[in-house]
Amino acid sequence: MKQSFRSVMFTLIELLIVVAIIAILAALLLPALNKARDRARTINCLNNQKELARVMHFYANDYKNYSVTRQNNKPWPNWLVDYRYVRTLGEPFLFCPTLKDQSMNNSAPQWRTYGHHYITYPAHHEFWMERGFGRFAIIDDGGASLFFHLAGVKNPSQLPHFADTVNLNFSPPLGSWMCPLRDPNGKETISFHHSGNCNIVFVDGHAATHSPRETKELGALQGAINGVGTLL
């Protein structure tokens, strides 16, 4: 009887040791698993942006090389759907996978997509022209319409077309259809939610991950870090 009791006690001790070892291993592996998950989402996001850029280039090829940002106060996702370049506003490649359920949990998903490079004022366009990108933005109807003439962009591999963007008017922040890189105080801004970095697809169609410093070098004034607007 004593031997049986000792055997049970020994088994309990062994079990506790095994549980402790598993807990330690889990604690060690969890950061690596989180990094792997975040990396997978970053890659998925880059692929989404490349697909989006291809679709917008298809649109531009049919409309004299103009990429629509906004027309008659209607954002670019609506135009892609209206002209059947995209089937629905819920297409997964329109949204960053890190910003959860943008298309499903919002009554107006066209406002929660990736942000198209947005030029609010002629002075913003002058900044890009001074940097050697040429005259490519058409602002019409008092700002109600904005187009990019893609064929007019010089050095297209350096001009952002779409980017990870959030609208800071919401908590937690939601995605935003526009990305005004030159607005230092805007609530709709580029977002660094991929482990402190953001994804950008350029006019030439290539996409890459950028740090805040690298994004500032591209011409951005502000960005959202951990959901807070910050000057770069």
Domain boundary assignment for the chain:
33-231
pTM for the predicted model, two decimal places: 0.83
Q: What is the residue whose two structure tokens read 């022209």?
A: 129
pLDDT tens for each residue of the chain, 232 residues long: 455 555 555 677 777 777 878 888 777 767 777 777 888 899 999 999 999 999 999 999 999 999 988 888 889 999 999 999 999 888 989 999 888 655 545 567 778 899 999 887 777 889 999 999 999 988 876 667 888 999 999 999 999 999 999 999 887 788 899 999 988 888 899 999 999 999 999 999 999 999 999 999 999 999 999 888 889 8
Nearest in space to 108 (alpha carbons), one of 160, 164, 167: 167
Q: Are 69 and 59 in contact (CB under 8 A)?
A: no
